[in-house]
Structures are given as structure tokens and as C-alpha cells.
Structure 1
């Protein structure tokens, strides 16, 4: 999609700080990080949100999840023998949830303690 920011990144029209790439998935640093590690993991193929991706291509959804795990290991957020120190994966769907780009993306955040609940009540 020519008007989609992330599709333009995939096409190389807009630069991205890429940390991981496969034939179907791209992962790059968020330009407004909310933690020391904040990477967006996206399918290269355009899907509006997580539910749309799951309905259209479960294999691609699995590839995105695998890439998130690989990025977490690469960024030092998991140890060889366990899950320490840890990380969070978040996806937003729709404007009320904070989705600002209509291309499904996983936020992989870590590098500091992450509280729960993640957002203040309001």
C-alpha cells in the first residue's frame, strides 16, 4: 500500500533502523522508544491488524512471533537457559487502543522493569 508508512519502510522508501529481517518479516527500532529496547516487528505483507493477519495467514503470524522471540534473544532480553531478564510484546488494534499505523505491528519492549497494569486507569 503506497500510503502505508510501514509498507514504504519495507519497500526501502523510508529508512528504518533494522535489527532483524527475513523474507517475510521486518523488525526495526521504534522512533519514540518507551523502554531501552523498543523494537517493532511487522509482516512485510500488509495486514491492518492482528485479527486480520490471523484470519488471512496463520503461518505469517507465526513467523512474526518467531521473529519477535529472535529479536528478544538478539537484544539480550532472554538468557540461554531461561526468560530473564524479560520483555513484553504488545499489539494495539484501533485508535482507542493506540494503533497509529494501520499495519499490524508487535511492540517488543524491555531493558527495564515493566509494571502491571501497563497503563494508568482513565
Structure 2
């Protein structure tokens, strides 16, 4: 999986995470502010921080592939948790989230087997 492909498959989870967050009471409208203790201690902090770091306005092409792979791994976990909560049968469910999970997990696994070359800076991700 190329860097461009990783960026492409991050489109779905960005929308999915945004749509599944409660932003009504967020004074930052979902824009993570690491200097604000409200954000740091918020239940949605990890999702919000992920969105802020991987939204469509960030120059994702400038990020190292290791960082993008980490973002994709987070997205897979988030979407997986949500479809499990919904009691979807991931292997057979025709919904967009389950389809994305099946396709992206296959791509990610292949990437991890063939393309992934952990460096000292990314070894902590595993």
C-alpha cells in the first residue's frame, strides 16, 4: 500500500469519526487543543486529537508513511469498536463501515507484511 493509498483510505474514517462524536458541547468544535485541560481530559480526546492531526486540511503527503500507518491503525480500531457496539457481523454486513473495515484491514495487513519497515522512531507503535 502506498502513501497515497493510505491517505485515500483515511477519508472514510475522518467522516466516520466526526459523525460519531458529540461535538455539541465542545468549545473547540472538535479541534483538539492540547494546551486546554478540558481537551486533555475529555472522553473524546483521542478521537478529537486524531481528527485534528489527520484532517483534510493537514498536508498528509508531508507526513512519514509510519505516521500515516499509525493513523490508519487507530482508524481501524475506532471503526471496529463502533461496528462491534452496533452488533454488526463484520464479515457479512453490507454497510459502508463494515465494507471499509474488510477492505482496509486486508490492505493494512498486506502493508504490514510487505511494506512496513519499522524504524527506531516507530518501534514504540507496536
Query: Into which bin does the TM-score normalised by the smaller protein fall?
Result: 0.3 to 0.5
- Give the TM-score, by structure 1 length: 0.34
Q: Hey, which of these two has a bigger chunk of strand by percent? A: 1
Larger Rg: 2
Q: Hey, which of these two has a bigger chunk of helix by percent? A: 2
